[in-house]
Amino acid sequence: MTAVTSQEFSDPASWVPGAGELPRLLPPAGAGKQAQDLMTHLARYGRLPYRERTGTLINDLEAAGLTGRGGAAFPVHRKLAAVLAAADRRRKIPTVIANGAESEPASDKDATLLWLAPHLVLDGLQLAAEAVGAQTAILYTHADREHDVGKRLQQALRERHAVGADRVPVQLALAPPRFLAGQETALVSHLAGGPAIPTFTPPRITERGLAGAPTLVQNVETLAHLALIARRGPGWFRAVGTRHEPGSMLATVRRADGRPRITEVPLGMPLRDLLGDPQPESAVLIGGYHGTWLPAARAAALTLENRSLEPAGARVGAGIVISLPADRCGLVETANAVRYLALESAGQCGPCLNGLPRMASAFAELAGGRPRPQTRADLERWAGLVTGRGACHHPDGTARFVRSALVTFAAEADRHERGRCSATSARPFLPIPTSSARTAEDWT
Amino acid sequence: MNEKLLVNPIECEGHGACAELLPELITLDEWGYPIVDPRPIGPGMERHARKAVSACPTLALRLLRG
């Protein structure tokens, strides 16, 4: 289990609007790393507030301004409203899916949440099902890297069954250990018995998803927030965060020691408070391997919200913030991750199938000794060619990551062209899964 | 009418028939896959666009009403 901290920043009251207390989702500081059982959960949060009708929760979610915490930050109320409307129009009973298939290797927040606070996620799943009129619910997760989360979730479901907490039966489903397994259309394909690879939309899955039913897919952290908004209301939710991006979020933070820390922070938190003072000549990766490298000094001036990050070319995403130690080579680290991304392509779309391996190979050349001057121009061109041309956003995210590395590590690339490298440690820093073999069975 | 061309990138196998028939709106990338002009099809081009759509051996190219 990774370290869980609640408030590492010094004086939150000085800049957080309102008097909201954190953590909300994770156990309070001092509670240890034990999973919360149903009794502990109910003592802390109170009973599950069913609304006894579809739809009413959607208004509260709109007032709260909750956005998806899986990375895309899509307004949650709009997704629920779309599913409800499609269900009415097409006279189909919708399906609700909690997505815990956290596939970014650098993220550990969903696994941590599912382990420590499974009941909050399961509450959210029930309430979301009620809000759209669903009668089946599925919780889709990876096998946890360190814990038997499946067993923990079965135990949580048994506890709930014993007291009749759930109105909609919940099925557990396991995602294959692939980067794209959590992508919405890949998830629907897998749950329908096919491979966990993306399909081409339209129609959107909110219209026609699993077994043709309108399908709501929400990240597990999103559902946990939803469960608390249902209990405490939109005003409470907005007591932390910013006016435009309210609430708290889970972040996976890696500083120089490389150890992931899962921390619950308000949106709008200064990155300097998350990471400490910037080391000169160092860099920060925001958003994981579909994310953006920024020079550490630039990142230190930004806050964890899209209004601050987007002008710098970054996004909050799923809350991955990584500080690269100054003794490592950003080009080598990026090359390792790009190779992983290329191996994780589903290989369905021509531009991704052709472009990503070429980008991986060119980046490996850039990371090694004496790259050709042409290599960076090739990378730029291929990044442009793959963007917007896949069935999913895998090529787009990979291109964003590559381009940001070319900018942030430009001086280092100059050094490499002269046969030098500023790194003094060759030990890999970014976490890269080892099993990237690509066979048909891997996807199912 | 405001129709647009849309390629399904999973179905597309890069045969290139579309670019041959409609070079005004479709070019091929260095791997032979089509890069489609995302703008609505201009007047006078609809007939050519329809020809390109029906010539695709994998039915990957579609015309969508804007």
pLDDT digits 0-9 by tens, A79-97: 999 999 999 999 999 999 9
CA distance B61 to B39: 15
Whether residues A351 and B33 touch (CB distance < 8 A) is answered with yes
Q: Is the pLDDT of residue A256 over 80?
A: yes
CA distances from residue A443 to A87, A138, A350, A437, A439 in whole angstroms, order as listed: 30, 19, 19, 11, 8
- What ipTM is given for this predicted complex? 0.95
Q: Is the pLDDT of residue A14 over 70?
A: no
Q: What is the mean pLDDT of residues A109-118?
A: 95
Query: Strand A3-5 vs strand A170-174: parallel, antiparallel, or unpaired?
Result: unpaired
Angle between helices A56-64 and A220-237 (to 10 degrees): 80
Mean pLDDT of chain A: 92
Residues in CB range of A96: below 8 A, 6 or more apart: A125, A128, A129, A132, A134, A136, A137, A138, A168, A215, A216, A218
What's the gap in Å between the CA of A200 and the closest CA on chain B? 7
A107 with A288: CB under 8 angstroms? yes
Q: Is the pLDDT of residue A435 over 80?
A: no
Give the pLDDT score at B1. Answer: 58
Give the pLDDT score at A430. Answer: 97
A69 with A217: CB under 8 angstroms? no
A241 with A316: CB under 8 angstroms? no
Give the pLDDT score at A16. Answer: 35
CA distance A144 to A114: 10
CATH class of B3-65: alpha beta
Of A385, A390, A391, the CB nearest to B29: A385
| Domain residue limits, chain B | 3-65
Give the pLDDT score at A20. Answer: 74
CA distances from residue A220 to A250, A318, A402, B16 in whole angstroms, order as listed: 11, 12, 29, 43
Band of pLDDT at residue A38, cut at 50, 70 and 90: very high
CA distance A349 to A347: 6
Contact of A349 with chain B, judged by CB distance below 8 Å, is answered with yes
Which DSSP string corresponds to A38-72? Answer: HHHHHHHH-S----SSSSHHHHHHHHHT-B-TTTT
Q: What is the mean pLDDT of residues A185-207?
A: 93
Give the pLDDT score at A369. Answer: 80
DSSP state of A182: G
Which DSSP string corresponds to A101-159? Answer: ----TT--HHHHHHHH-HHHHHHHHHHHHHHHT-SEEEEEEPPPSSS-HHHHHHHHHHH
Band of pLDDT at residue A55, cut at 50, 70 and 90: confident
| Domain residue limits, chain A | 18-237, 330-428
Whether residues B31 and A200 touch (CB distance < 8 A) is answered with no
Which DSSP string corresponds to A150-167? Answer: HHHHHHHHHHHHHTT--S
Give the pLDDT score at A408. Answer: 98
Q: Which chain A positions have a beta carbon within 8 Å of B11's beta carbon?
A: 200
Give the pLDDT score at A11. Answer: 37
Helix, strand, coil percentages in chain A from 3-state DSSP, rounded to 5: 45, 15, 45
Digit-coded pLDDT (tens) for B9-66 = 999 999 999 999 999 999 999 999 999 999 999 888 999 999 999 999 999 999 998 6
Digit-coded pLDDT (tens) for A348-367 = 999 999 999 999 999 999 99
Of B11, B13, B29, the CB nearest to A351: B29
Assign domain A330-428 one CATH number from 3.40.50.300, 3.40.1190.20, 2.130.10.10, 1.20.1440.230.
1.20.1440.230
Residues in CB range of A299: below 8 A, 6 or more apart: A271, A275, A278, A283, A284, A286, A312
More confident residue, A277 or A210: A210
Give the pLDDT score at B34. Answer: 98
Q: Which chain B positions have a beta carbon within 8 Å of A355's beta carbon?
A: 31
Whether residues B35 and A354 touch (CB distance < 8 A) is answered with no
Give the pLDDT score at A15. Answer: 35
A387 phi, psi to nearest 5 deg: -65, 130
Task: Provide the CB-side half-sphere exposure for A123 (13 A, CA).
Answer: 25
Q: What is the pTM of this model?
A: 0.93
CA distance A374 to A370: 11
What's the gap in Å between the CA of B43 and the closest CA on chain A? 26
Q: Which CATH architecture has domain A18-237?
A: 3-Layer(aba) Sandwich (3.40)
Q: Report the 10 Å Cβ neighbour count for A158.
A: 10
